[in-house]
Amino acid sequence: MNLKQLSNILGISQTTVSRALNGYPEVSEKTRALVLAAAKKHNYMPNTKAQALATGKSKMIGFVLPLSSQHEILNPIFGDFLAGAAQTYKQEGYDTNLALTDNETQAETYRDMHAKGSVDGVIVQAPRENDERVAILKELGLPFVVHGRATGSNDYHYVDVNNTHAFINATNFLLDLGHKRIALINGNEELDFAIRRNHGYTQALKDRDIDIDHSIMFNSEMTEHFGYETTLKLLALENPPTAAVVSSYALAIGVRRALGESGLRIGKDFSVVIHDDDLSYLRNGEAQPVFTATRSSIRHAGQLCAKVLLDVIKNPSQPPQQVILEAQLIVGSSTGPAPT
Partner DNA sequence: TTGAAAGCGGTACCAC
Partner DNA sequence: GTGGTACCGCTTTCAA
Q: Which residues bind DNA (CB under 7 A)?
A: 2-4, 12-16, 18-19, 21-22, 26-28, 30-31, 44, 46-47, 50-51, 53-56, 117
The answer to whether residues 113 and 62 touch, using CB atoms and an 8 Å cutoff, is: yes
Query: In angstroms, what is the minimal distance from the CB of 286 to a second copy?
Result: 3
Using CB under 8 A, which of 129, 139, 286, 326 touches a second copy?
286
43 binds a second copy (CB under 8 A): yes
Query: In angstroms, what is the minimal distance from the CB of 47 to a second copy?
Result: 5
Q: Which residues contact 128 (CB under 8 A, 6 or more apart)?
A: 150, 192
Q: Give the C-alpha separation, 115 to 135, whole Å.
A: 16
Query: In angstroms, what is the minimal distance from the CB of 2 to a second copy?
Result: 9
Cβ proximity to a second copy: between 81 and 173 the closer is 81
- 217-219 and 243-246 as β-strands: parallel, antiparallel, unpaired? unpaired
Piece of 13-21, 83-91, 234-242, 320-328 that binds a second copy (CB under 8 A): 83-91
Burial label, 176 (beta-carbon count in 10 A; 0-12, 13-18, 19+): exposed
Residues 44-63 that bind a second copy (CB under 8 A): 44-50, 52-53, 58, 60, 63
Piece of 24-32, 198-206, 233-241, 257-265 that binds a second copy (CB under 8 A): 257-265
Q: Give the C-alpha separation, 298 to 328, whole Å.
A: 12
SS3 150: coil
Using CB under 8 A, which of 33, 36, 37, 98 touches a second copy?
98
207 binds a second copy (CB under 8 A): no
Query: In angstroms, what is the minimal distance from the CB of 16 to a second copy?
Result: 21
Burial label, 30 (beta-carbon count in 10 A; 0-12, 13-18, 19+): exposed
Query: In angstroms, what is the minimal distance from the CB of 200 to a second copy?
Result: 26
The answer to whether residues 71 and 187 touch, using CB atoms and an 8 Å cutoff, is: no
